[in-house]
Structures are given as C-alpha cells and as structure tokens.
C-alpha cells in the first residue's frame, strides 16, 4: 500500500467508560447518538478487555502491544521508557503524520513517544509523584466518598476545561492535516479524561436524563463474609466499606456519569463533523475505545482496580469506510493489546510483520475476518492496594483471578455474567482451575515480579525525594500555555483538586 492509498486513522479514547451504559452493547441507558451511529456503520467487538484496570499501565501496554509487566508499567507513576517503540513510532515510520491531543499519562522525560506533536499538556503529572509504597501499611486511594456525595451538576470543572481544549485542538489538527503540503495520512489520537470521576456533568447533559430511569447496580454491596479480600481492600482504600451510601446518592452519581458519557458523545460528534467538513471522512478509519471500565457501584465498588467485568470490559468499535472491517459484531474475545498490530495492518493493507519483537496481540482485521472463536485474554494488577501481583485469564467463557496473596476466584461468565458464584472450590471445576492456574504461573513469575516492583518503587522514591531538593525537573509536556499548572502536578491533595468545581447554584 502506497502513501497515497493509506487511510487516515482517528483513534478516540475515553477514560473509565463502561459498556454497561451503552446501547451499542445492549445497555440503552446513556444517550449517545454519535457512538450509536459509529457502531451501526462499524464493527463492534462485543468482548473487548483492557489488560490492566488502571490508567497509565493500561495505556502503556496498549501503546506497546506488550503486557504491562514486560515494560515495567507497574502503576500510575511508572516511567514509560523511551527505548520501547509505541504505535506512534511504528505509524510514523510507515509514513504517518502522528499527533496526540489529550491525556496519555506518560511518565518520564519523554512526553511524545513517537508522536510528532501534542496539542495539549497532560492532565496528570509526568513525574513519580504517584509512586506506591508496598513497604507501608495501608493505602488511601486517589478518591474519597465526595465523588458520590458531591456528584451531580456543575457549571465547570477542570476535566471539562481539559476536554474542551482536547476537542478544539483535535478539530484544528484534522483541518491542518487536510491542507498539509506533504500529503501524509494522519494518525490522530484524541484522548479524553471523561467520564472519569468525579461524577459531575453540565446541566444540559444532566437534563437529558429527566425522563430516563437509570437502574441501580445489579449487585449491591456484598456482606463482608461474602466478599473477596481484594474487593474489601479496595472498598477500604476509597472509604466506601462502611459508608452506607443511600440509593438516591448512588442514583445521582450514576446519572451524572451518564451525563459525562453524553458529553463524550457530543465531542465525538464534533470530530466526525470535522472529518466530513474537511473532506476526509471517506478515507478515515475511526476507532473508539476506553482505557478501562468503571464499576459504577456494582458490588459497592466504584472506579477500577478490580478484575470484575464492569471494570475490565471496554467498548471497542472500528468504522472503516474502505472495507477493511466489514461491519457487524465480533464475539471473539479481544483486548487493547491488539491495537498496535491492527494499526500496522491498517497502514499496510493487512500485511504487517515489522514489529521489532513478538507482540502480545494480533491484528483485529484478522480476528474480525474469521468466524467467532475463543482466544485467551490476559490481564494484570501490579499497583497499590494488593498483597502480591494479581493475574487474570479469560478462556473458554471462564475467568480466573489468581494471586499468591488472595484466594482464587473462578467465574463462569456465560452462566454467571455478574460473577456472583466463585467456582474455585467446586470439585466439578477442579481440573479447569488447576489447568488455568498452571497457565497463569507459567506465564508470570510472581516472585520475580515482586522483587522488580519493590526495587522500582525504591528507585523512584529516592529520585522523587532528591528532586524535591532545589529546583525540580520539569517533565510535564509544555505547549507554551501559561495556565498548564491548573492541571494536577502532584502538589497538594488530588481529591481536593478534582473536587474544586463551580457548583450549579452558588447559594
């Protein structure tokens, strides 16, 4: 495929979007006409997963096509080494104009990782400010109960400021690419921070749900003796364990979340309009996904950092006007690891074998072109709040969650989609459990990972402490704007920063 024949690629990524509110995934709760239209024209991957239920590690594994443990992406403050190629490097080498507008959560001095330019700074710090410390007891997560008690309508908050900037500059990039003299196709990643908590939205999006009955979680808070140890730790981290959140507060937060999803949909509409108006719609592949899901109150849990379906499943929709994807729905399990080889295949006409190493994913073009089949999906959790690395395998409709720090969990996702019945102690599933455990501990060396994680944490904490003396280095991407410091840079309390918004009624 020559450069003149290569399609443009618009890659739209949200943050913390669950399929549990999307009509395109059988859950017609959020009002999302533009996502629905994209799904109607494109291929919907019904069983798509992230590979790490946390922002930065998920994005690093997605960008490299490698599991997070292979690239040292242990948590939200792990450096993304400049020596590891990302899909932006590969696409740039294939002749693409590469641009990032929005969040990518890169940590380290390299804030581009193959993108020729970024239109915005990041919303989170690029240094080691969020480094966990497994040597301490207890952990306070990056949120608190205010995300529920203070949820609802706002006039403005920092996340809206950010995503408005992301879309404005992405639209400009689409027009700039259309009139660029070099004629290169574009690879544009537009990455939003919505619908990430706090659960706040504009009045216009809140009002969309005046006549909508937003259901409460299918599975409410579980009694302590029916819950698993990791979930109990997550509840304690966020202060939800004994919060006794009333149903009307849960409903309020879920409505505001849906409002944020509708806000994302509006922004997608602006991008699609720019493609059409710039004359590039007929030669642009559009990919829509999220870095991970959102528990949204299921089992009393919110946010992510669990392996339950609401946090692990992500929307993945690809619309290709020139037929690389034929449309329809694909039931084959896939993951974000499959995106890098897919981009390479899009750029070369389905024949791309130029990765410098064996990748952990495969082209979605190949997968979508076959009859639905089962393939394993792997995921990891290596960050704070755990006793030892936790691993997940989804195979043949079953999910194993295993760790040397917690009892095993085994779920039949076909017959128990809400993951209420742990089959790990069921004699009928003993053979399956043994086989999946053997697969997990053959794939991952838990003890070796522990040593690497602890060493990484000690190194980063020392660097962070040293940088606190004298003039600290500036790793955050600088676009030249004077007000970039309004985004979170590790100074002060994250929760206070996130919840500093203009209320609808000042009284």
Q: What does the pLDDT look like over 441-454, one tens digit per residue? A: 999 999 999 999 99
Task: Give the pairing of strands 398-403 and 390-395.
Answer: antiparallel
DSSP state of 91: H
Query: Considering only CA atoms, which of 155, 161, 214, 180 is closest in space to residue 98?
Result: 180
DSSP per residue, 337-401: GGHHHHHHHHHHTS-----SS--S---HHHHHTSPP----EEEEE-STT-SS-EEEEEETTEEEE
pLDDT at residue 292 is higher than 50: yes
Report how far residue 49's alpha carbon sits from residue 46's, in angstroms, rounded to the nearest whole number: 10
Pick the more confident residue, 404 or 245: 404
Report how far residue 215's alpha carbon sits from residue 20's, in angstroms, rounded to the nearest whole number: 11
- Does the annotation mark 55 as catalytic? yes
> How many CA atoms lie within 13 Å of 468's alpha carbon, on the beta-carbon side?
10
Q: What does the pLDDT look like over 17-26, one tens digit per residue? A: 999 999 999 9
Report how far residue 91's alpha carbon sits from residue 285's, in angstroms, rounded to the nearest whole number: 14
- Does the annotation mark 292 as catalytic? no
For tokens 């929760």, the residue is 495
Residues 6+ apart with CB under 8 A from 456: 72, 74, 78
What pLDDT, on the 0 to 100 scale, is given for residue 378? 98
For the segment 351-370, the average pLDDT, to the nearest whole number, is 93
What pLDDT, on the 0 to 100 scale, is given for residue 506? 47
Residues 6+ apart with CB under 8 A from 17: 195, 261, 264, 290, 293, 294, 314, 315
Distances (CA, A) of 207 to 161, 212, 256: 20, 10, 10
pLDDT at residue 507 is higher than 50: no
Least confident of 122-136, 339-353, 457-471, 476-490: 476-490
Report how far residue 413's alpha carbon sits from residue 392's, in angstroms, rounded to the nearest whole number: 13
Q: What angle do CA 144, 297, 201 make, to 5 degrees?
A: 70
Q: Are 115 and 477 spatial neighbours (Cβ–Cβ below 8 Å)?
A: no
Query: Considering only CA atoms, which of 337, 342, 392, 397 is closest in space to residue 367?
Result: 342
Q: What does the pLDDT look like over 59-95, one tens digit per residue? A: 999 999 999 999 999 999 999 999 999 999 999 999 9
Strands across the sheet containing 186-191: 117-118, 97-102, 186-191, 8-14, 284-290, 316-319, 43-45, 328-330
Q: Are 187 and 96 spatial neighbours (Cβ–Cβ below 8 Å)?
A: yes
pLDDT at residue 99 is higher than 90: yes
DSSP state of 409: E
Q: Are 373 and 395 spatial neighbours (Cβ–Cβ below 8 Å)?
A: no
For tokens 């629905």, the residue is 36
Q: Are 132 and 139 spatial neighbours (Cβ–Cβ below 8 Å)?
A: yes
pLDDT at residue 332 is higher than 80: yes
pLDDT band for position 494 (cuts 50, 70, 90): low
Candidate list 34, 89, 99, 105, residue with the active-site label:
105
pLDDT band for position 136 (cuts 50, 70, 90): confident
Start-end of H helices in 238-374:
247-277, 309-312, 339-348, 364-368
pTM, rounded to two decimals: 0.93
What pLDDT, on the 0 to 100 scale, is given for residue 87? 98
**Mean pLDDT, the chain, as a whole number?**
93
pLDDT at residue 486 is higher than 70: no
pLDDT at residue 257 is higher than 60: yes
Candidate list 34, 50, 55, 230, residue with the active-site label:
55
pLDDT at residue 426 is higher than 70: yes
What pLDDT, on the 0 to 100 scale, is given for residue 489? 64
pLDDT at residue 169 is higher than 60: yes
What pLDDT, on the 0 to 100 scale, is given for residue 140? 56
pLDDT at residue 406 is higher than 80: yes
């Amino acid at each position: 495929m020559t450069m003149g024949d290569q399609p443009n690629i618009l890659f739209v990524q949200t943050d913390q979007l669950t399929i549990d509110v999307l009509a395109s995934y059988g859950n017609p709760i959020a009002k999302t006409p533009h996502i629905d239209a994209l799904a109607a024209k494109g291929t919907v991957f019904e069983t798509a997963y992230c590979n790490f239920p946390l922002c930065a590690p998920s994005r690093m594994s997605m960008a490299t096509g490698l599991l997070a443990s292979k690239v040292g992406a242990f948590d939200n403050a792990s450096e993304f080494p400049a020596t590891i190629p990302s899909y932006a490097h590969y696409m740039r080498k294939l002749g693409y104009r590469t641009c990032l507008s929005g969040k990518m959560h890169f940590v380290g001095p390299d804030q581009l990782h193959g993108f020729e330019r970024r239109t915005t700074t990041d919303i989170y710090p690029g240094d080691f400010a969020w480094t966990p410390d497994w040597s301490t007891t207890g952990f306070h997560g990056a949120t608190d109960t205010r995300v529920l008690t203070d949820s609802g309508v706002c006039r403005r908050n920092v996340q809206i400021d950010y995503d408005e900037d992301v879309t404005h500059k992405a639209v400009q990039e689409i027009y700039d690419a259309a009139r660029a003299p070099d004629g290169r196709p574009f690879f544009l990643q537009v990455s939003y921070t919505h619908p990430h908590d706090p659960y706040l939205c504009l009045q216009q999006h809140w009002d969309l749900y005046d006549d909508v009955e937003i259901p409460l979680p299918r599975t409410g808070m579980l009694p302590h003796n029916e819950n698993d140890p990791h979930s109990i730790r997550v509840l304690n981290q966020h202060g939800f364990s004994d919060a006794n959140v009333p149903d009307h507060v849960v409903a309020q937060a879920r409505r505001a979340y849906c409002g944020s999803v509708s806000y994302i949909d509006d922004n997608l509409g602006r991008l699609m309009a720019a493609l059409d108006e710039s004359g590039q719609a007929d030669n642009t592949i559009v990919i829509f996904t999220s870095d991970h899901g959102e528990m949204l109150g299921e089992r009393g849990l919110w946010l992510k950092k669990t392996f339950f379906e609401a946090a692990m499943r992500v929307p993945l929709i690809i619309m290709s006007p020139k037929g690389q994807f034929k449309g329809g729905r694909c039931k084959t399990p896939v993951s974000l690891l499959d995106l890098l080889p897919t981009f390479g295949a899009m750029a070369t006409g389905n024949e791309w074998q130029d990765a410098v190493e064996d990748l952990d994913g495969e082209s979605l073009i190949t997968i979508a072109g076959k009859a639905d089949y089962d393939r394993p999906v792997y995921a990891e959790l290596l960050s704070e709040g755990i006793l030892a690395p936790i691993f997940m395998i989804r195979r043949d409709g079953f999910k194993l969650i295993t760790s040397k720090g917690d009892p095993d969990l085994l779920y039949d996702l076909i017959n128990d989609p809400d993951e209420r019945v742990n089959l790990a102690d069921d004699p009928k599933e003993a053979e399956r459990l043994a086989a999946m455990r053997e697969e997990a501990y053959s794939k991952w060396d838990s003890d070796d990972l522990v040593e690497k994680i602890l060493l990484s944490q000690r190194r980063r904490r020392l660097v962070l402490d040293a940088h606190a003396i004298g003039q600290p280095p500036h790793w955050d991407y600088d676009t030249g704007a004077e007000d970039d410091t309004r985004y979170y840079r590790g100074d002060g309390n994250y929760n206070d920063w996130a919840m500093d918004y203009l209320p609808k009624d000042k009284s």
